[in-house]
Amino acid sequence: MDRNMHGCIVSAGYRWCAYLEKCVRPWELAKERGFNQEKQAFEKFCQPKKKEKQ
């Protein structure tokens, strides 16, 4: 199988979402979370969580 460094199966449409810390299909996530299906929207949503200063 063709898995990326996060274990996502690329040929099945999965991409890593750092914000959710899991592999997702961008179009399914867009529908579920209510953002458009453009690459930029997915990348913006899936940016890594910002660590809070203690």
User: Where in the chain are the domains?
Assistant: 10-45
Residue with tokens 């529908």: 31
Predicted local distance difference test score (pLDDT) of residue 49: 83
Mean pLDDT by groups of 10 residues along the chain of 54 residues: 92 96 97 94 93 66
Predicted local distance difference test score (pLDDT) of residue 48: 92
The pair of three-digit structure tokens given for residue 21, joined into one six-digit string = 């810390």
Predicted local distance difference test score (pLDDT) of residue 26: 97
pTM: 0.83
Query: Cα separation of 30 and 44, whole Å?
Result: 11
Measured distance between the N- and C-terminal CA atoms of the chain, rounded to whole angstroms:
42
